[in-house]
Amino acid sequence: MSINNILTAVIAIIAAPILGGLLFGIDRKITARMQNRFGPPVLQPFYDFFKLIGKQGIAVNQTQMVYVLGHLFFAIGALVMLVLKQDLLMLMFILAFSGVSLIMGAMSVRSPYSKIGAQREIMQMMAYEPVLLLMVVGVYKVTGSFMISDIFNHDKPLLYSLPLLFLAFIYVLTIKLRKSPFDFSTSHHGHQELIKGVTTEFSGTQLALLELTDWIDLVLLLGLISLFFAKPLWVGILIALVCYFFEIVIDNISARVTWQWMVKITWVAGIGAALVNIVWMYLIP
């Protein structure tokens, strides 16, 4: 690992939360404008974060912090792998570990809200993990390698050969960002049927770290979208931002669905689209 790589990783670790927090702030502002409100300042997520750091720490049990830190560090690990253009398959596994840490944290307490939230989170993982893995398979079929650096070396953008996989990935993005209609593991508003789902029993610094992880996750997922148009990278980033705006619109116009509906539709439409794309590439080389 050269000095250059270490420098890139450090810059990414510092820049990603700032960028993610700003994107969340813009999300809240746009959402407010769509509901004909003025909305909070763009820096509101940072205010929330620093306020939570200053609060008293109440831990329900001693292992909770370990899971929160696991959730954070696995997300950072996945981010570092993305910016260093490492193995895409390994990145997906590390991302799954990050999700599992959160579920373990939510399961480690005795609150029924937290447990139900964790169970719904498991359903979400069950829905999106196959699509993420099929995306890696599709990328391998196109570039002949799992490495992200080979996507950049590939002469044609991935989007031309993987359009259906791209749609499936955007669909999965809604589940991964926990936006409505798939926000049932952490209900968006705290006074709904699940209070706050998996984050119910976390408070103070722990909740702040969970928010930080959310910001990093957002940047990571938008980065994965931009890989689909990697040749001029700025086009990819533009596509990712348009997708994010699309997610905000979907978030505002839809109500929550049941987990059965989510798993059914994700498996039929998401995996279906991904498989059709991969089979089509085998038939028409």
Partner 1 sequence: MGIISKSRKKSPWIMHYDCTSCNGCDIETLACLTPMYDAERLGIINVGNPKHADILLVTGSVNKRNEIVLKNIYNQMPDPKCVVAIGACACTGGIFKECYNVLGGVENVIPVDVFVPGCCARPEAIIDGIVQAIGKLDEKAEAMKKVAK
Please, what is the minimum distance in Å from the beta carbon of residue 186 to partner 1? 11
Residue 215, judged by CB atoms within 10 A of its CB (0-12, 13-18, 19+), counts as buried
- Sequence-separated (6 or more) residues with CB below 8 Å from residue 62: none
Check residue 58 for interaction with partner 1 (CB under 8 A). Answer: yes
Q: Does 56 bind partner 1 (CB under 8 A)?
A: yes
For 55, left (φ over 0), alpha (ψ -120 to 50), or beta? beta
Nearer Cβ to partner 1, position 91 or 183? 183
Taking the C-alpha atoms of residue 265 and residue 283, their distance in angstroms, rounded to an integer, is: 26
Q: Does 228 interact with partner 1 (rule: CB under 8 A)?
A: no
32 makes contact with partner 1 (CB under 8 A): yes
Query: In terms of CB distance, is 23 or 271 closer to partner 1?
Result: 23
Q: Contact with partner 1 (CB under 8 A): which of 166, 202, 229, 244?
A: 202
As measured in angstroms, the least distance from the Cβ of 189 to partner 1 is 7
Q: Work out how close the CB of 17 gets to partner 1 at its nearest, in angstroms, rounded to a whole number.
A: 15
Q: Minimum distance from CB of 31 to partner 1 (Å)?
A: 10
Binding track over 61-80 against partner 1, x by CB under 8 A: --------------------
Q: Does 44 bind partner 1 (CB under 8 A)?
A: yes
38 is a site residue for partner 1 (CB under 8 A) = yes
260 in contact with partner 1 (CB under 8 A): no
Candidates 13-21, 49-57, 236-244, 277-285 — which segment interacts with partner 1 by CB under 8 A?
49-57
Q: Is 243 in the site for partner 1 (CB under 8 A)?
A: no
Listed in sequence order, the residues at least 6 apart from 156 whose beta carbon sits closer than 8 Å to its beta carbon are 231
Minimum gap (Å) between residue 95 Cβ and partner 1 = 26
Q: For the CB of residue 199, give the shortest distance to partner 1 in the complex, in Å.
A: 8
129 near 100, Cβ under 8 Å?
no
Binding-residue total with partner 1 (CB under 8 A): 35
What does the alpha-carbon distance between residue 121 and residue 49 come to, in Å, rounded to a whole number?
23
Q: Which residues sit at the interface with partner 1, rule CB under 8 A?
A: 28, 32, 35-41, 44, 46-51, 53-58, 189-192, 195-196, 199-204, 207
